[in-house]
Amino acid sequence: MENYILILTAPKLNIPESNIIEFILDLIKSNLVKIEHFGYELDNPADYENDDMIATRLGTSYFTFQFELNKLDYDDYTEEETLQLIVDQLQTKQIGNIIIDDKDVDVYIKYDNR
């Protein structure tokens, strides 16, 4: 199994405190998010951010998903396939921890080895 990270972005949103998975699924199905990153872990952006990057980050909501899958070539996935992959993960996998702040969400999806 390999660990993957998918980061979706949208203009800064008010994040609800409940029904967060349904909220995210609605955003995806409504084409209101874009893929920022799909693959393995990222470098720490604080290591190379400039003022413009910080301003953009402050005006953006980030939805970060960490999950495990059998090894895949994520570079071959289209945008639609990537979004469907996370929809499937959210609908069929156990959700572990969810961390929500005023504009961002981190979702940790547990691997179900049944």
- Band the pLDDT of 27: cuts 50, 70, 90: very high
The per-residue pLDDT for range 35-56, each reduced to its tens digit, is 998 888 765 555 555 566 666 6
> What are the boundaries of each domain within the chain?
2-110
Sign of CA dihedral 12, 56, 40, 75: positive
CA nearest neighbour of 37 among 77, 5, 12, 59: 5
Q: What is the pTM for the complete model shown?
A: 0.83
Sign of CA dihedral 24, 26, 29, 35: negative
